[in-house]
Structure 1
Amino acid sequence: MKLFKIKDNAQEKKDSFADIEALTHRIADKTLEQLEREGVFVFPEFIGNSKDLTRDQIILQSVDDTYRSGNVMGFLGCSDERLIIESRFSSEEEDYFSEYLLNQVLDFPNIVDLKSDADQNNRLFNFLLFLFPYYLKTAMRKGLFKRYVRNRYNDGNVKGRIDIARHIKQNTPFIGNVAYSQREFSYDNSLTELVRHTIEFIKRKPYGGHLLVRAKDEVKLVVEATPTYELYDRQRVIEANKKNAIRHAYFREYLALQRLCLLILQHQKHQIGSGSRQIYGILFDGAWLWEEYVNSLIGDAFYHPMNKRGKGAQWLFAKNNGGNIGQIYPDFISRNNESRIIADAKYKPIGNIGNRDYLQVLAYMFRFDAKAGYYLYPEANGTDDLLLWMNKGSTYEANVTERDDVSVTKHGLKIPVDAQNYDAFVQQMKVNENEFLRAFDIG
């Protein structure tokens, strides 16, 4: 196996990718949407609604004689070539920061990491399994999925279409029953059966019980809703779901769950990435993971509008004929409305925060009458906060001076890069988190 590792938000010479030339050729300058169509699994699933991760984002962008990576972490493969994109805080051997983010945000088991090993395909498959509880819980926020199914009966209570051939076969001589089928709106359909087969598949894994307990209520509902489940029906259920993907936009969460279940169940029949030309892999949006992780730290003191779920939408303007216009989703709005703070989570090095980032936060501050704004970013060097005072005046009038009442601050959370093991990394992170929270009087 030929393997190459890079870090997010980094540039590498094109010559460095010589060992994985075929894979690089297949993914370079391709958008997330293109890779997703070719079999790469992207998390979170609704990238079209993410302000940091969009469908036209390029994972490996060609810049002169280098390739530049973005905010995405994960695995990509083609044939016997593998590319691992680690966080920029990883060491040569371990990427504890990626593991920590996944554990804090998605409650992943601690056995997950991005280090290379002899069986990268199985590691990739484990990632898909570990994502299942999250996708199941997300989809079932809208309740159990119902769809029309055609059930076959053979009794005396005829309510649907009579099946002549089946009736003759089953009811000769006639004893009072009639073979018929009826179209019914049911929870027990091909999609819920697919989810049930995936649940039963995971149960057979050594860590399956521990994994499924994270969505035990949802698992219980699915099991109760699929009384016709039979193990030998698995291939038929898989084929039915491959032919009938969820199309209604309202059930887009179930479409993502359907796709994940198919990837998991088909892995055993033909390993992920089988075929010399197929691209496969799983990619995580580092910006989304970072934002959700920050929310777990400061959520008690800040509102957190979520554009991916359409919750907490704010509006810039009111129209003179009624209604609002200019929908926005600031990352964080402080609950303290006397001294309002606007905070923006940025999975970027401090030097890359600027230009449009400034304009965005200042617009939010103006909208909410906030005098203080914060950029919350991860960093490794223990850099002091960078406090920026807003200017007033104009260079045309030669009267530019700084204001003393409006400011934005680049406030970093230090990420350990020299921890001896994962437990030591977690302990140091807890210390650094407390230091990080002191800026907001939290902790």
Structure 2
Amino acid sequence: MKILKVKDNTTYITSRFSCNKCIVSNILNKSLSQLDAEELFIYPESIKIVEDLTRDQMILQEFNGKYRTGNVMGFIGHGKERLIIQSRFCNDNEDYFLSYLLESVLNIPNIVSLDADTSSDKRLLDFLLFIFPKYLGSAIRKGLYKQYIYKQYNDMKIKGKIDIPRHLIRNIPFIGRIAYSQRLFSYDNTLIELIRHTIEFIKSKSYGSIILSDIKEEVNLIVNATQSYRACDRQKIIEQNKKNIIRHAYFREYSALQRLCILILKSEKHDIGGGIQNSYGILFDGAWLWEEYINILVSDIFYHPMNKSQREAQYLFNNEGRIYPDFISRVDKPRVIADAKYKPIKNIKNKDYLQVLAYMYRFDAKKGYYFYPDINHQESFQLKLNSGSTYENNVMGRNDISIIKLGLEIPQGCNDYYDFVDEIQLNEERFINNLKAIL
């Protein structure tokens, strides 16, 4: 097994990837939206369809003769090659930070503790299983998926097209039955059957009841709809779904769920990544995870418009200039704007300032904040907006408008995951206390 561990948002010499040539050839210089041909599951799916896809949304990019990783973390495999992308804010051994973000945001427990087998493939399957409830819940909110299907019958209640070849085979000599088929608009279709097979597969796991505990109603809905379910049809259902991928934009949630179910069920027979050309894996958008994690900590202080899902948009003008500030304070006098940045303090600059200042101007805010992961014990850092001009030689900092960089310290060098959790929870308390003290 050729395993390579790298950090996100980090530049490496190309020779470091010499043992992962197949993976590199499949992902190099491709945006996340271009990777549907690969068996790469990207969470959240919405980052592949946003309008402003940038270099940060690439897994690996060639730049000045070197390779630079993007803003995603996770696992990629191809044959005997494995690429593990860790957070740049973790230590060199285990990525406890990513595990903690996943546990906090997606309710995925520390998967390493679930089983002694902590290989990347095993962890990959566990990740897929634990995100299944969120994708099922999101899809069901659109309503149960209905599709035209053909069902075959062999009785005297003729309500469709007579199937003469099948009739000759099954009913000669004539015994009072007619073979026919009928086109029905049914819930019991190949996609819902695929979801049912996935649910049954999850139930077979020792921790399956934990995974499905929060979606009992959705599970019952799928079970009641799939009266034709037979465990022995699993491979046939998988193949039918691979040939009939859901592509309609309205059913985007079902399309994502379909891809997830296929990937989970292929892993049952160790067929995951079995294609000659395909890489497989699961990746998480670091910026999205960090923003959602911060929202959990500050939700009682700030509103949180959601850019990726395009909900709760704000406008610069009358229904023009749609914007999504990360955080808008619930208190409006004084109003405060904050931005979650998954980057070190020294990398928060230039366009970052312009964006937050524009939001501050729109909401008449006098203070803005950047919330970032801190690994250097950095104190909060305040920037005062300048007034005046260099032409008149009267530039000076204003006391009424400022931006503050406030870091949440990420523990380093912990003995195990549980030590990490204890330390970061203390840091979270300090972070909230510091925030409230300077608001």
CA distance in 2, matches of 1:104, 1:87: 16
CA shift for structure 1 position 60: 2.0
Question: 1:156: Cα distance to partner?
Answer: 5.5
- CA 1:346–1:272 in structure 2 vs 1: closer, same or farther (change >3 Å)? same
* 1:321 aligned partner: none
Map 1:27-46 to 2 at 5 A: 27-46=27-46
The answer to which of 119-128 and 299-308 deviates more is 119-128
* Deviates further, 374-383 or 67-76: 67-76
Q: Secondary structure at the match of 1:409?
A: strand
Q: Which runs of 5+ in 2 are unaligned?
A: none
Q: 2:363 aligns with which of 339, 362, 368?
A: 368
Please report how far the alpha carbon of residue 291 of structure 1 lies from its aligned counterpart in structure 2 after TM superposition.
Answer: 0.8
Of 54-63 and 224-233, the range deviating more from structure 2: 54-63
**Equivalent-residue separation in structure 2 for 1:302 and 1:425 (angstroms):** 27
Q: CA deviation at 1:248?
A: 1.4
Q: Give the equivalent residue in structure 1 for 2:245.
A: 245
Percent identity reads 56
8 Å CA contact 1:171, 1:178 repeated in 2:
no
* Conserved? CA contact 2:57–2:71, under 8 Å: no
Q: What secondary structure does 2:383 align onto?
A: strand
2:165 and 2:291 mapped to 1: Cα distance? Answer: 60
Matched-pair contact (CA < 8 Å) for 2:60–2:67 = yes
Tell me which residue corresponds to 1:182.
182
- Give the TM-score of the pair, scaled to structure 1: 0.90
Work out whether residues 48 and 55 of structure 1, in 8 Å CA contact, stay in contact via their aligned partners in 2.
no
Match of 2:317 in 1: 317
Does the C-alpha gap of structure 1 residues 27 and 184 become closer, same or farther in structure 2, counting only changes over 3 Å? closer
Aligned partner letter, 2:210: H
- Higher mean Cα deviation, 190-199 or 380-389? 380-389
Aligned twin of 1:411:
406
CA contact (8 A) 1:48 1:54 kept: no
Provide closer, same or farther for how the CA distance between residues 97 and 242 of structure 1 changes in structure 2, counting only shifts above 3 A.
Answer: same
Q: 1:352 to 1:385 in 2, by over 3 A?
A: same
Residues 56 and 172 of structure 1: CA distance in aligned 2, closer, same or farther (over 3 Å): farther
Task: Give runs of aligned pairs for residues 306-345 of structure 1, distance below 5 A.
Answer: 306-318=306-318, 324-345=319-340
CA distance 1:164–1:117, change in 2 (3 Å): closer
Cα separation, 2, equivalents of 1:170 and 1:393: 95
CA contact (8 A) 1:32 1:54 kept: no
RMSD over aligned Cα, in angstroms? 2.5
Matched positions, count = 434
Structure 1 residue 349 corresponds to structure 2 residue 349: no
Q: CA deviation at 1:377?
A: 0.8
- SS of 1:396's equivalent in the other structure is coil
TM-aligned CA distance change 1:117 to 1:30, over 3 Å: farther
Question: In the aligned structure 2, how far is the partner of 1:317 from the partner of 1:178?
Answer: 68
Specify the code of the residue in structure 2 equivalent to 1:255.
S
Quick one: distance in 1 between partners of 2:193 and 2:3?
Answer: 38
Q: Whole-Å Cα distance in 1 between the matches of residues 156 and 184 of structure 2?
A: 18
CA contact (8 A) 1:33 1:56 kept: no
1:291 aligns with 2:291: yes
- For 1:157 and 1:5, locate their aligned partners in 2 and report how far apart those are by CA, in whole Å: 63
For 1:346 and 1:49, the matched residues in 2 are separated by 21
Shift in CA distance, 29/164, structure 1 to aligned 2, threshold 3 Å: closer
Contact 2:56–2:70 (8 Å) recurs in 1: no
Q: Provide the secondary structure at the position in 1 that maps to 2:45.
A: coil
Structure 1, 400-409 or 28-37: larger mean CA deviation: 28-37
Deviations 1:240-292 (A, max 9, x none): 21121112111101100000111111223453223554322221111111111
Distance in 2 between the 1:182 and 1:436 partners?
Answer: 63
Q: Which runs of 5+ in 1 are unaligned?
A: 319-323
Tell me how far apart the structure 2 counterparts of residues 222 and 314 of structure 1 sit (CA, whole Å): 37
What SS is found at the alignment partner of 1:127? helix
CA distance 1:162–1:117, change in 2 (3 Å): closer
Q: Give, in angstroms, the shift of residue 75 of structure 1.
A: 1.6
Q: CA deviation at 1:28?
A: 3.1
Q: TM-score w.r.t. structure 2 length?
A: 0.91
Distance 2:55 2:13 in 1: 25
Closer, same or farther: CA 270–117 of 1 in aligned 2, 3 Å: closer
